[in-house]
């Protein structure tokens, strides 16, 4: 939701100029995708060690690199189905690592961690299925595939994860709310796809 609304403005005002000024165009977008994945994976051991601020830094660095990889691909005219596939897979690896890390960080609520993983699985399935069966021409975008926006997307998920890391005493409330909103996103996306002519 946040990305869908603010990304075009942020892209032209901040992201593209940042990429051009910092020399990131020298990197292949797949390298940035893998770097984003590695920093995301790093959150797991950092959460195990209860390194709150280091895990938070790794989380946001992973998210930032995930923004940059697609932007670099578009600026270098290197967007591809293989790159999009790598990006999607890396995103899921990172989310899985973060949720497992949160389970180990706040082990008192194993069911809620399982619920988060399940809700993400269902939501990503709805996202991919709708993307597969919707021609890209229906909603052209800068993405390499049809991108159906939802209430909870990666940006919102990262804010929830950050809040759970910073405020572990509110883990039960935040994880439950996150799971419900993610499931609602999956339901809404599926419902809109089924009823459209």
Domain boundary assignment for the chain: 2-195
Sign of CA dihedral 56, 57, 63, 66: negative
Note the pLDDT of residue 142. Answer: 52
CA 135 – CA 112 distance, rounded (Å): 36
CB neighbourhood size of 80 (10 A):
13
Integer angstrom CA distances of residue 145 from 46, 58, 83, 131, 142: 34, 28, 11, 7, 8
Average model confidence (pLDDT) for the chain?
Answer: 88
Note the pLDDT of residue 153. Answer: 86
Note the pLDDT of residue 22. Answer: 85
Integer angstrom CA distances of residue 16 from 7, 106, 142, 163: 11, 38, 13, 28
Any idea which residue has 């770097």 for tokens? 35
Cβ pair 90, 37 in contact under 8 A: yes
Note the pLDDT of residue 141. Answer: 52
And the tokens for 64? 């930032």
Note the pLDDT of residue 149. Answer: 67
Tell me which residue of 185, 187, 161 sits closest to 175, measured CA to CA: 161
Find the mean pLDDT for residues 9-18: 77
Q: What is the pLDDT of residues 117-128, one digit of tens each?
A: 999 999 999 988
94: pLDDT strictly greater than 90: yes
**Of the ranges 36-45, 68-77, 104-113, 164-173, which one carries the lowest mean pLDDT score?**
68-77
Instruction: Report which DSSP code applies to 40.
Output: H
And the tokens for 73? 């691909």
Query: Class assignment of domain 2-195?
Result: mainly alpha
Q: How confident is the model at residue 145 (pLDDT cuts 50, 70, 90)?
A: low
Cβ pair 67, 15 in contact under 8 A: yes
**Of the ranges 33-37, 75-79, 105-109, which one carries the lowest mean pLDDT score?**
75-79
């Amino acid at each position: 939701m946040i990305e869908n609304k603010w990304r075009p403005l942020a892209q032209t005002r901040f992201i593209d100029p940042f990429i051009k000024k910092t020399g990131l165009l020298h990197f292949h977008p797949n390298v940035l995708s893998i770097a984003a994945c590695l920093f995301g994976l790093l959150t797991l051991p950092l959460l195990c060690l209860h390194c709150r601020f280091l895990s938070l830094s790794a989380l946001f660095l992973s998210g930032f690199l995930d923004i940059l990889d697609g932007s670099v691909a578009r600026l270098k005219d290197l967007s591809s189905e293989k790159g999009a596939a790598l990006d999607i897979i890396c995103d899921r690896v990172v989310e899985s690592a973060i949720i497992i890390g949160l389970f180990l960080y706040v082990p008192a609520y194993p069911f809620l961690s399982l619920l988060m993983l399940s809700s993400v699985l269902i939501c990503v399935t709805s996202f991919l299925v709708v993307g597969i069966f919707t021609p890209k021409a229906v909603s052209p975008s800068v993405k390499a595939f049809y991108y159906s926006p939802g209430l909870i997307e990666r940006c919102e998920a990262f804010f929830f994860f950050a809040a759970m890391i910073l405020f572990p005493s509110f883990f039960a409330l935040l994880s439950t709310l996150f799971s419900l909103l993610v499931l609602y996103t999956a339901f809404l996306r599926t419902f809109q796809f089924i009823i459209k002519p």
